[in-house]
Chain A
């Protein structure tokens, strides 16, 4: 599933990032990489953007960016 569809509070593992665009590079340089664990910790009042906790930091991404990240629930 995509990170944009992920439920808040649940931990997911990043499986991959859609390739070949600026956003993918940006996300990866912050550490969004296959194998890392992510968790949506806050959702903005209108449902977008979302704040994602990843490797001890909190990053706000729009759903358009979150769509690029393929994740898998780890429970």
Chain B
């Protein structure tokens, strides 16, 4: 309910090109009083913060960076939709246009586009110090006079000009100063109004700005607002025809007219001292060099990967230890109610631990991404790598997410948001989980250590481990190609990338970036991961009839040839070998008859063509929330308890001696080399990671998450069957 305009929160939006320091301005304005929300139906972050200036409350929204209001995708349309009130109900009260003082002309192009909206505006002239260093002298008084709005020189990185900007926002809200609209040629206004009127007649009401955009922009995403496509095509044809008949190319007409206007506007405003050299030229001679540039790129990427893979390790171990410690500490509180105890310890606490354990990798990756992006290197890296990745629908910006996927798909999928092109972003998110993440490593180590190394020796084992890491990538890239050519019917965006000047990243921005991503993961994906964890816990726990434990106990005691007194004595100490073995056997019996165990036996025929028995099948199914869980599940199934690791000699030897208990292969070993390879290939390709599913759903929606899960599982099955069938005929 509105309580009069005086107490209403005033809505301010930050608009600006990428690489202008717009986010720095936002962070400086709002500090940590900001949060991320979602725009409906798109994957663009809505960053909202609150400020107070002289008793007035302002809500500040940081719009996605853009060079133009032209929108070819729903994501890009967000900016225009916010500006003209399609999102939010009404246009914002004030637009703050953040412009880069070192590239004023191009930055002001967006200002001229925004001027069409007739919303009060303030121009924040950021990178003021950079402009001075580059030998640029800008007459702000003259610029202010020509634009008709306040122009605030600032250096957001150092916090200079923020107070002035706040005052200017308040003043602008009070005195409503606009940048005047362009004086379009008469025929252009006629064409626009004709389009507006024709669509109005069909029941589509557009704003004049939207009509202009549809007329100028080929493939405008605004077309989605008009149901009658035929009418739209005809009317657009008519309007563009008018432009053409006056010698204007519709695609470049706006830029042509506006830049001419800007050249007049900037006359005498910017002066450049020609004696100051441009520093990036010399840096880029090396950084973009065919040989040295590639070398630097490999070095930087090695550093990123190494830190994800190695530096995160100790923190992850610490979190796992803390989780285990917490579980041990909390467990006894519920000793009277085993079901509740298991739910809390094995379901909830394990689930929470399973969420937090990803934080080190997420924080480290976003530390690097913030550093790479803010310094300007990410654009150079994308430039160097674009051609190598372009053929399968990715672009140069896909490299960092894909590489990070070799450590962990979760931060990697989150990192794919830096791709503006929806098609390349979808492809990147889709392919990243195929990369061999560190959670697959224990599975490879277990099976290679147990089967490949004893047969073929350590050298072959080493090469096998190495080769396993590329199975996913080798399958993924052709899939990307196929996805792009055949399935994804979204138009590819041109890969036009600005090489921003090199800049020193600020600690403040880096920390805020890490904090945002970490919090977002915990809040958004964490809840889903926790839910997965509890569901799988329940499927492995229930039903749990006492008789199962009783009959195992009776059989076990009978098999030990001990007197009743000896049994009692052995059982009195729960840490005795006798008692532990009994516990492991009971756990094994329970998992076999759990819902998941029964399901595993029931679907085993599906996995039989890959050579998997029901025990492997249960292991596979239980590892869908997190693939590394298979080791613990196998420990339980083979009566060794859950505390086994991939290095356990017990587990390796029991696997080596495991034989088929029934069926055509009765008496023969279960784990032959074809089975082992089929199993490893299955793990290489399958998306057995609830957290990845949750993050993909967060980035692309549940449809894509389910699609990606189904694709990977199907491929994993096909490949496993192929490996087993071919392998068992050859070996």
Q: Which residues of A contact B (CB under 8 A)?
A: 16-17, 19-31, 33-34, 41-49, 51, 55-62, 64-65
Residues in B with CB closer than 8 Å to A21 are: 218-219, 251
Beta-carbon contact of B387 and A46 below 8 Å: yes
> Taking A31-B105, A31-B109 as contacts, is the C-beta distance between A25 and B70 under 8 angstroms?
yes
CA distance A24 to B422 in the complex (A): 19
A49 to chain B, nearest CB (A): 5
Beta-carbon contact of A49 and B386 below 8 Å: yes
Contact with A along B573-587 (1 / 0, CB 8 A): 000000000000000
Q: 30 A-B contacts, Cβ less than 8 Å apart?
A: A24-B251, A25-B68, A25-B70, A25-B216, A25-B252, A25-B255, A26-B67, A26-B68, A29-B70, A29-B109, A30-B496, A31-B106, A33-B256, A33-B259, A42-B284, A44-B384, A44-B387, A45-B387, A48-B386, A49-B396, A49-B495, A56-B105, A59-B497, A60-B379, A60-B498, A61-B494, A61-B496, A62-B386, A62-B495, A65-B494
B288 at the interface (CB under 8 A from A): yes
Residues in B with CB closer than 8 Å to A43 are: 290
B102 to chain A, nearest CB (A): 8
B57 at the interface (CB under 8 A from A): no
Q: Which B residues between 378 and 418 are near A, CB-CB below 8 angstroms?
A: 379, 382-384, 386-388, 390, 396
Chain A residue at minimal CB-CB distance from B216 = A25
Determine which of A20, A42, A56, A62 lies in contact with B494 in the assembled complex, contact meaning CB atoms within 8 Å.
A62
Residues in B with CB closer than 8 Å to A57 are: 103, 106, 498-499
B222 to chain A, nearest CB (A): 13
Beta-carbon contact of B252 and A45 below 8 Å: no
B209 at the interface (CB under 8 A from A): no
Main secondary structure of the interface of B (DSSP, over half): helix
Beta-carbon contact of A28 and B387 below 8 Å: no
Q: Which residues of B contact A (CB under 8 A)?
A: 67-68, 70, 72, 102-103, 105-106, 109, 216-219, 249-252, 254-256, 259, 280-281, 284, 288, 290, 293-294, 379, 382-384, 386-388, 390, 396, 491, 493-499
CA distance A17 to B494 in the complex (A): 15
Determine which of B103, B251, B290 lies in contact with A45 in the assembled complex, contact meaning CB atoms within 8 Å.
B290
CA distance A58 to B493 in the complex (A): 19
CA distance A62 to B391 in the complex (A): 13
Beta-carbon contact of B386 and A19 below 8 Å: no
> Taking A25-B217, A25-B251, A55-B105 as contacts, is the C-beta distance between A47 and B496 under 8 angstroms?
no
Determine which of B70, B219, B383, B491 lies in contact with A51 in the assembled complex, contact meaning CB atoms within 8 Å.
B383
A46 to chain B, nearest CB (A): 4
B261 to chain A, nearest CB (A): 12
Beta-carbon contact of B384 and A45 below 8 Å: yes
Beta-carbon contact of A25 and B218 below 8 Å: yes
Beta-carbon contact of A58 and B499 below 8 Å: yes
Chain A residue at minimal CB-CB distance from B388 = A46
CA distance A9 to B274 in the complex (A): 19
Determine which of A19, A47, A55 lies in contact with B387 in the assembled complex, contact meaning CB atoms within 8 Å.
A47
Main secondary structure of the interface of A (DSSP, over half): mixed
CA distance A28 to B218 in the complex (A): 12
A50 to chain B, nearest CB (A): 9
Beta-carbon contact of A56 and B103 below 8 Å: yes
A32 to chain B, nearest CB (A): 8
Residues in A with CB closer than 8 Å to B493 are: 22
CA distance A58 to B495 in the complex (A): 14
> Taking A42-B383, A51-B383, A62-B495 as contacts, is the C-beta distance between A30 and B106 under 8 angstroms?
yes
Ordered nearest first, which 10 A-B pairs have the shortest CB separation?
A28-B255, A28-B252, A29-B68, A46-B387, A24-B251, A58-B499, A60-B497, A19-B249, A42-B288, A23-B494
B420 to chain A, nearest CB (A): 11
CA distance A17 to B498 in the complex (A): 19
B582 to chain A, nearest CB (A): 64
CA distance A40 to B294 in the complex (A): 19
Residues in A with CB closer than 8 Å to B68 are: 25-26, 29
Which of A19, A27, A59 has the most CB atoms of chain B within a 10 A radius of its CB? A19
Residues in B with CB closer than 8 Å to A28 are: 251-252, 254-256
Residues in B with CB closer than 8 Å to A49 are: 383, 386-387, 396, 495, 497
Given contacts A23-B496, A51-B383, 9 further A-B contacts (CB under 8 A): A26-B68, A33-B255, A42-B383, A44-B386, A49-B396, A55-B105, A57-B103, A60-B495, A60-B497
B620 to chain A, nearest CB (A): 41
> Taking A24-B251, A41-B281, A65-B494 as contacts, is the C-beta distance between A29 and B386 under 8 angstroms?
no
